[in-house]
Amino acid sequence: MSGRWWVAAGGLAAAGLLVLTVVVAGPLRAGGDQPPPEPPPSDQEPPQPETLESFRLGAPADCGTNPFCLDGLGRTYGIDVTELLVPMEPGEPIVTALREGTVEVGVLFTTDPLLAEEDLVVLDDDLGMLAAENVVPYSRAELIEQRGDGLRDALDRVSEVLTTEAVSRMVAELRAGTPADLAASQLIETLDLDTVEVEVERGDPIRIGAERFDEDVVIAHAYVAGLLTQGVDAAVVELDGFRALEVASLLDREIDVAIDYAGSLLEFLDGFASLASPDPKETVAALGELLAVADYELFAPSPATSANTFVVTAATAERYGLSALSDLVDAAPAAEATPPPGVRPEVTEPLVLLGDAALRVGDTGPAVLQLQELLQAAGYPPGPLNGIFEEPTRRAVAAFQTDAGLPPTGVAGPQTLAALEAAVAAAEETESETDGSGGTPPPDPEPAPDRPAPDGAVVHLTFDDGPNATYTPQVLDLLARYDAQAVFFAIGQQVSGGSALVQRATADGHRLGNHSWSHPSLAELSRPAFDQEIGRTQDAVQAATGRRPTCLRPPYGAMGSQTRSWAAEAGLEVVLWDIDPQDWARPGVDSIVRSVIDHVRPGDVVLFHDGGGNREQTVAALERILDQLSDRGFSFTIAPGC
Ligand SMILES: [Zn+2]
């Protein structure tokens, strides 16, 4: 069989899941040394594949931050899918969108049972973007110090039996309506874990964090079931977010054990392009080393992998001759030049001192001193300026990382240093402005950030993704203090649990808006699904507050051609926003404040989030924003339409 006939099996055979064998006729895009296509073994010309001009990529929301999704496609394939990305709930919605043609390419996890569907073809990762993504638990090092090595052994025993196939089976049961704990304990019951003697110090249940997608939830439940079977008390803590939240929750001692995918976690923590490898041993070793310096312990990896797989329907593959990710290159914008794999991002002063390394506890020398001086200048005192990286410096680095929206590892790599330099430069700029030492005054920016507002000027504050037991009350307290009225675009399924909060918001003079029942992209929904998402939320808010919302904010701001008219039929006006400070991404309190203060004009609608993750930055920024805008004479009223 020659190179023009190909078999799309991808890495699935190795993962033990299933082998999708789809043979499609079409020329293989490859280097110029390919011989020209031979005529096919028939006297009819085969239909030539059409050219794929562009495509839409249906992917889980974390594709934007996953190093082996948006970033990886840029880095390895040189294509920029930012504008092509349609964020969707993982699994079925993506497959439905592929079949209905609302997206051409979809992302599923290796463990997704939907990969068994016969009309799906996995695009080969022909340039090797995907790293080893074995499922691996980790914890703070102190956990094992406190509870003993028996706990490590107990976790390792669960990891041993967790295969991709087992995870896929649990996901299938979860989707069929079996509760996650039941799906997990059915798997664990088939093992003989309860025959092993386990010695673990008594204490509170071991809390295992689960991110908000099916794979992570069932895997967390599998570890809990496995620990319980071995006589160790354990419980799942469901986190309302992805990787960043899980790392932060571990650091904040809200959970004891986090579970992640080795390659993605390594990239996420390190910020480098080169450490994660297709070889599981290399990836896990590098991850273990990185975690150890930050006082985390990595446990043994399981054989299960949960890599992203890029899929198209068989019809799309045939029509456009698609077999590999390289085949998408011509149909997407080129990514900005990025270093090839294996080369770390180029770093400028003062990072030159660092060479390849990141700075961490135990390091000494001029680079550490330089780091300490930067921390000091940015307002994060690192202890004595002595060129020795000890606990006070680690704490200062972690504090800065938290405020800058970086994973708070306490290890200073290129990302952290670049952010730190930027913070220092910004602080110096502000200083020279206020002491009047600058030369010619800069041109008057428009609108002027500190100019008094015209008489009667208003701003409309809005908060999405609540109600949230932690952050919504803090937002309500601040709004009350500044006599501000706002709109809360609530997620319907959170309303009944948060009814006291929405009642308080209503009593305080705020309005509730509709943000759908489960936060899907409305652009992808059929009419019945749309009506269900919107109608259930209307009913839930009415039941809690006695009042039906009159305005709708589509999740992600995503709308299809019918969204506005369907909303209107449900009595809802679509309300988007003028200013998006990206507070959900935790870019740092200063950044959120500046995004609003520097750009706000009378009548603007401002987007914030009081749910969906850690919102400490939002709360801190809101106080400063309310303070500064009140001083300038703005008042805060309900957005039109609500
Ligand atoms: Zn939202």
**φ and ψ at residue 366, rounded to 5 degrees:** -60, -35
Q: How far is the CA of 181 from the centre of ligand 1 (A)?
A: 28
Q: How far is the CA of 609 from the centre of ligand 1 (A)?
A: 7
R_g (Cα) of the chain, nearest Å: 26
pLDDT exceeds cutoff 80 at 46: no
Q: How far is the CA of 556 from the centre of ligand 1 (A)?
A: 6
Q: Which two tokens stand for residue 83?
A: 């504008």
Report the pLDDT value the prediction gives residue 71, as an integer from 0 to 100. Answer: 82
Q: What is the DSSP string of 476-532?
A: HHHHHHTT--EEEEE-GGGTTTTHHHHHHHHHTT-EEEE--SS---GGG--HHHHHH
Question: In terms of pLDDT, which residue wins out, 503 or 519?
Answer: 503
Query: How many distinct helices (H) and strands (E) make up the chain?
Result: 20, 19
Q: Which two tokens stand for residue 352?
A: 């030159």
Interval 210-251: pLDDT, tens: 987 788 999 999 999 999 999 999 999 998 777 777 887 887
- Picking from 117-131, 369-383, 385-399, 570-584, which range would have the lowest pLDDT averaged per residue? 385-399
Q: 7 forms bridges with which residues in the sheet?
A: 23
pLDDT exceeds cutoff 90 at 629: yes
Known catalytic membership, residue 515: no
Interval 342-390: pLDDT, tens: 333 332 222 222 334 577 777 766 677 788 888 988 888 887 777 777 7
Pair 318, 24: CB distance under 8 Å: yes
CA distance 200 to 511: 51
Q: How far is the CA of 514 from the centre of ligand 1 (A)?
A: 10
Q: How far is the CA of 131 from the centre of ligand 1 (A)?
A: 30
Ion ligand 1: residues, CB < 5 A: 464-465, 555
Mean pLDDT of 470-496: 95
Q: How far is the CA of 583 from the centre of ligand 1 (A)?
A: 12
Q: Which two tokens stand for residue 627?
A: 């303070």
Q: How far is the CA of 63 from the centre of ligand 1 (A)?
A: 16
Q: How far is the CA of 315 from the centre of ligand 1 (A)?
A: 34
Share of the chain above pLDDT 90, in %: 45
Report the pLDDT value the prediction gives residue 525, as an integer from 0 to 100. Answer: 82
Mean pLDDT of 297-317: 94
Known catalytic membership, residue 216: no
Report the pLDDT value the prediction gives residue 594, as an integer from 0 to 100. Answer: 93
3-class DSSP state for residue 377?
helix
Interval 88-113: pLDDT, tens: 888 889 999 999 999 999 999 998 99
3-class DSSP state for residue 5?
strand
The count of other CB atoms within 10 Å of the CB of residue 346 is: 9
Report the pLDDT value the prediction gives residue 370, as an integer from 0 to 100. Answer: 80
Q: Which two tokens stand for residue 592?
A: 């959120």
Q: 489 forms bridges with which residues in the sheet?
A: 464, 513
Q: How far is the CA of 555 from the centre of ligand 1 (A)?
A: 5
Q: Which two tokens stand for residue 71?
A: 């970033």
| Residue ranges of domains in the chain, CATH in brackets | 5-33+48-130+308-331 (3.40.190), 135-298 (3.10.105.10), 351-434 (1.10.101.10), 458-636 (3.20.20.370)
* Mean of all residue pLDDT scores within the chain: 82
Question: In terms of pLDDT, which residue wins out, 159 or 85?
Answer: 159
Q: Which residues contact 425 (CB under 8 A, 6 or more apart)?
A: none
The count of other CB atoms within 10 Å of the CB of residue 43 is: 6
Q: How far is the CA of 606 from the centre of ligand 1 (A)?
A: 14
3-class DSSP state for residue 428?
helix
3-class DSSP state for residue 584?
helix
Report the pLDDT value the prediction gives residue 15, as an integer from 0 to 100. Answer: 32
Q: What is the DSSP string of 307-376?
A: -EEEEEEHHHHHHHT--BGGGGGGGSPBPPP-PPTT-PPP--TTGGGGTTPPB-TT-BSHHHHHHHHHHH
Residue of 112, 464, 583, 610 marked catalytic: 464
Instruction: Sheet containing 85-88: give its strands across.
Output: 85-88, 57-60, 105-109, 308-313, 120-122
